[in-house]
Each structure stands twice: as structure tokens, then as C-alpha cells.
Amino acid sequence: MANTEKIFGKINDRTCPVRQSLEILGGKWAFTIVYSLFEGTKRFKELERSIEGINTRMLVKELKLMEAHDIVKRVAYATIPPTVEYTLTEKGRKLQPILKELYKWGKEYY
């Protein structure tokens, strides 16, 4: 058995935690959305404007996936026009040190 299997398990196994995490957070925009929400709760359009290059369809798709996995919380208010806000859950906030380490790695090597 390789050392990496001892540490991470078998990545090709659907029950591998690394693989499961990457299925949720491996999208192009996932960490960018999470990073933007580290600042606090944001309305949908505010969040969209804060992420350069994302389109509405992709933002909706990523937010739905992250909401389904309890990374973000969506709150809709019955206003005209409707107001929708997103915030990180406790699980989502726990991604901050991971993102910080990715930042440090990227800064060092790119």
C-alpha cells in the first residue's frame, strides 16, 4: 500500500473524503464564492458583482450545490423585488484555514 493511501485512502473510492470534498468544492468558482462570503452575508447581486467573470447561471448552480451540502445558507425575504442573502454556515467557515494554505502555496509557487 502506498503511503498516500495510508494518509488519504483510495481516491478512486467514492467514499474517499478527499474525493467527496472535491466533488463539492472542486468547481472553478467554489472557493471564490466561499472567499467572498468570508467577509459576511451578501445579497445575490452583491455576491455576483464581487466575483469577476462569473455568470448568473454558474453562480446559481454553485450556490445550490453548496447549500445542499450545508456550506452556505440561503435566506429569502418576501420583498418586492425579492431579496435573497447568502452566508457561510459553520461548516463553510471551517474552509478558511484551508483556503489560507492554498493562498500561501499559490503565492510561493505561482
Domain containing 40: what range? 3-109
Interval 3-36: pLDDT, tens: 766 666 676 777 778 888 888 888 899 999 999 9
Q: Which three cell numbers stand for residue 98?
A: 484551508
Integer Cα distance of 50 and 37 in angstroms: 10
| pLDDT score at 104 | 95
The reply to whether omega before 81 is within 30° of 0 (cis) is: yes
Q: Which three cell numbers stand for residue 73?
A: 445558507
CATH value at residue 7: 1.10.10.10
Read off the pTM: 0.83
Q: How many domains does the chain have?
A: 1
Interval 34-84: pLDDT, tens: 999 999 999 999 999 999 999 999 999 999 999 999 999 999 999 998 899
